[in-house]
């Protein structure tokens, strides 16, 4: 067994349900961290104040419509914050903080940020909801499963941005959450990964619940694990770790 020692941690949303107290704990981590907030992080506060407080607490860790260069090793491009999927929808909370941004404006903000990427470094695209265009079945990586008819529930602005960026460079990884692995209406489990024709790997990290116990009552927590070596994607898996940071179970995806 190996002990967990990540170089960087990415949060892809639905962290706090609007709790600034929980968000503050992220700042206590002594590992480099970047955070995309999800639809359940908006706080049900149409004034936008709850969302804005979280943004202020996170500071440079916060990711939305921008590009971070991590340690001259990774490009980390972020999409629209607090997405609930379903094409394009801007909540009252996001409108209060950012204004009534249209789908086209969202695409332009992403593409403008992407222009600052370092071509020789891998590019990770970070979002809360995944892009549209990856399937419309209930078990598709971004498929609607909670009621019929099933459909593609991905983000259009993210899909358009990916397509445009792929014209000039490779996107190594698109990582997101939002769509839970366990499907509603007893339909089984979701496909949590996919590779497109351009070689971009799509990873859904929404393993829910994220904690489980074994027959001995020992607690395990789930993380998605990604490795790059020599500027190339080498490994992706869903892992369950013990409280001591040891790997208990692993599903290798790449």
Summarised one tens digit per residue, pLDDT across range 31-63 is: 999 999 999 999 889 999 999 999 999 999 999
Give which of 199, 186, 60 is closest to 123, Cα–Cα.
199
Confidence of residue 4 (pLDDT cuts 50, 70, 90): confident
Summarised one tens digit per residue, pLDDT across range 74-94 is: 999 999 999 999 999 999 999
Rounded-to-integer distance, Cα 193 and Cα 142, Å: 10
Summarised one tens digit per residue, pLDDT across range 237-253 is: 999 999 999 999 999 99
pLDDT at 107: 98
Confidence of residue 2 (pLDDT cuts 50, 70, 90): low
Which residues touch 130 (CB under 8 Å, ≥6 apart)? 85, 141, 142, 154, 155, 158, 174, 176, 178, 179, 202, 204
Q: What is the 3-state secondary structure (H, E, C) of 50-115?
A: HHHHHHHHHHHHECCCCEEEECCCEEEEECCCCCCCCECCCCHHHHHHHCCCCHHHHHHHHHHHHC
Whether the CB-CB separation of 23 and 16 falls below 8 Å is answered with: yes
Task: Indicate the class that CATH gives domain 66-223.
Answer: alpha beta
3-state SS class at 172: coil
How far from 229 is each of 9, 122, 226, CA to CA, in Å?
17, 10, 10
Q: What is the mean pLDDT of the chain?
A: 96
Q: Is 205 exposed, middle or buried (0-12, 13-18, 19+ CB in 10 A)?
A: buried
Summarised one tens digit per residue, pLDDT across range 146-186 is: 999 999 999 999 999 999 999 999 999 999 999 999 999 99
Delimit the domains of the chain by residue range: 66-223
Residue 1 has pLDDT above 60, yes or no: no
Q: How many helices (H) and strands (E) does the chain have?
A: 5, 12
* pTM, two decimal places: 0.96
The separation between CA 150 and the C-alpha centre of its own chain, rounded to angstroms, equals 22
178-192: buried (b, 16+ CB within 10 Å) or exposed (e) per residue? bbbbebeeeeeebbb
pLDDT at 43: 86
pLDDT at 247: 92
Summarised one tens digit per residue, pLDDT across range 93-119 is: 999 999 999 999 999 999 999 999 999
């Amino acid at each position: 067994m190996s002990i967990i020692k990540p170089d960087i941690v990415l949060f892809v949303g639905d962290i706090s349900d609007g709790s600034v107290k929980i968000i503050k704990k992220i700042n206590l981590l002594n590992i480099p961290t970047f955070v995309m907030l999800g639809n359940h992080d908006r706080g049900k506060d149409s004034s936008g104040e709850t969302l804005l407080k979280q943004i202020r607490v996170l500071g440079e860790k916060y990711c939305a419509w921008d590009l971070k260069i991590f340690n001259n090793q990774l490009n980390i491009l972020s999409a629209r914050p607090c997405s609930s999927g379903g094409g394009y929808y801007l909540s009252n909370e996001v409108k209060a903080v950012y204004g009534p941004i249209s789908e086209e404006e969202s695409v332009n903000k992403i593409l403008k940020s992407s222009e600052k990427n370092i071509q020789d470094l891998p590019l990770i695209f970070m979002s809360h909801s995944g892009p549209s265009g990856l399937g419309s079945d209930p078990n598709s990586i971004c498929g609607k499963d909670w009621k019929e008819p099933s459909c593609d529930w991905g983000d259009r602005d993210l899909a358009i941005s990916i397509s445009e960026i792929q014209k000039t460079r490779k996107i190594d990884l698109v990582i997101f959450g939002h769509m839970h692995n366990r499907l509603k209406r007893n339909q089984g489990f979701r496909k949590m990964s996919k590779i497109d024709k351009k070689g971009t790997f799509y990873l859904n990290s929404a393993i829910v619940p994220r904690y489980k116990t074994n027959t001995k009552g020992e607690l395990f927590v789930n993380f998605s694990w990604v490795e790059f070596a020599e500027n190339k994607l080498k490994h992706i898996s869903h892992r369950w770790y013990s409280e001591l940071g040891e790997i208990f179970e692993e599903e290798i995806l790449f």
